[in-house]
Chain A
Amino acid sequence: MTKTEESIDKSDVTDAEIIEIEEQTIIRAPKRSSSEVKTASWVNYLIVPAIFLAVTLLGGFRLGAVDSAFIFLKPALVCLVFSALTLVLYARSGLIDIEGWISQDQPMLTNASSIAILITLFTATVQLYSSLLPEQGLTFWVVGFCFFWTIWNNLFAEFDPKRLLRSMVGLFGLAFVVKYLVLTNLTAAPEGSWWQRLFENPGKEAFTWLLDLPRYSAGTGYIQFFTLSLYLIGLFLLPRSLRR
């Protein structure tokens, strides 16, 4: 017997009309002022994609060792795979709620702009991996494997957005230290002839040759540090959902 029938039995009313009232849950969220909404819209639709576009531009950017000429490196295929897995990780951990970004009940313009922002997130992540992975040789495979191992493990772990963000900062920070501090210090400068370099600094020359390390200008490390910082700021500003 249901609760409604029970209450009717207990009452002595005759010729009564049964009116079913559906239970309703009302959530009262604090109302945002129009200036807050404007700021949020400004940040979400303009600042965040601009940050991710800057990361996309700078991620593959290097400066040549001899003349500081611009070098634009196209990302390796594995960077696209890592980026796709990372986006799945962001969605699984709740850092981004896909339904809050793209949904049938949202206007087409909102969905289109959400897709545009998510595309910039994807391209920025691709370029960030391109920035942090060594370009070639044994180190490319070793660091690449470490990235894959970490992302794969994280895919099956329980994460909340804060923990994931901390984990990503740690992962990217360590990769930056390995590439732009450790490996760069093992790379011999391109000045002088091969024999001269071998006599003056045999250790560095041997590491450069064995690990197939590319030679870039010192400015490259600074640019990539800026790129990594921008990406993390973008990730911090990225809203979980675009729905109000």
Chain B
Amino acid sequence: MNENYSQILCIALVVAGLIFISFLYTTEPKTFAEVATKSQVVVGTYEINKEEQARGLTQFRAEDFAGARAAFDRADPEKRDAGTQFYVAYSYYRQGWGRFSNDDALFTSGLAVANSVVVLDPNFRTTDAALGIKTATELKTEFEEGLKITASDFNPMRLTRERK
């Protein structure tokens, strides 16, 4: 091989190698499967698993919220789809909501996911007519209000409110 060609190959190898190593050390994948999905995100070919998302929706509507979240996690392992993450946040809301008091742990987890939906798509609005809360910002407010203890929490009329 001509020496010039080996020198060009050397430069290409070093540049490509260092970019790949920087990618691995920045994204920190935990398995080979994660290396593949994170590469798809970088290249821009990442897509959610539609079958798992449909399965998650069925479980969500059947009120199996833990199962729904597991299916949504499989559908969107990189947590980059605002629609799927909105359903994850909503599942925390519906599971954690209580007529007397809310489950603070579930509401805190839900708030974190709702925040991530706002970051992914600030103008996100769901088209699902069965959901009472339509945007991530409204859901976020619902979580924040649910976590606060205010005088209105002791209002007996509170018992008549409905889950959205």
Contacts and interface: CB of A to CB of B under 8 A. Distances in A.
Decide if A and B are genuine partners: yes
Interface of A: 37-38, 41-42, 44-46, 49-50, 53, 56-57, 60, 64, 69-72, 74, 109-110, 112-113, 116-117, 119-120, 123
B115 to A, nearest CB: 26
B119 interface: no
B93 to A, nearest CB: 31
B7 A45 contact: yes
Contacts of A44: 6
Given A57-B24, A113-B11, A41 B18 contact: no
A74 B25 contact: yes
Contacts of B29: 70, 72
10 contacts: A42-B1, A45-B3, A45-B9, A45-B10, A70-B29, A109-B4, A113-B10, A116-B14, A116-B15, A117-B10
Contact of A53 (B6, B14, B25): B14
A42 B6 contact: yes
Contact of A109 (B8, B21, B28): B8
B99 interface: no
A72 to B, nearest CB: 5
Contact of A120 (B14, B30, B31): B14
A49 B13 CA distance: 8
Contacts, number: 75
Interface string B26-46: 001111001000000000000
B25 A69 contact: no
B1 to A, nearest CB: 6
Given A53-B14, A116-B10, A120-B14, 7 more contacts: A50-B17, A53-B18, A53-B21, A57-B17, A64-B30, A120-B17, A123-B21
Nearest to B28: A72
B51 to A, nearest CB: 26
- Of the listed residues A45, A64, A123, the one surrounded by the most CB atoms of chain B closer than 10 A to its CB is A45
Contacts of A74: 25
A62 to B, nearest CB: 11
A35 to B, nearest CB: 11
Contacts of A120: 14, 17-18
A119 B30 contact: no
Contacts of A110: 7
Given A53-B21, A72-B25, A46 B30 contact: no
Contacts of B11: 112-113, 116
A60 B1 CA distance: 34
A53 B17 contact: yes
A69 B30 contact: yes
A175 B17 CA distance: 27
A100 to B, nearest CB: 15
Contacts of B6: 41-42, 44-46, 113
B7 A53 contact: no
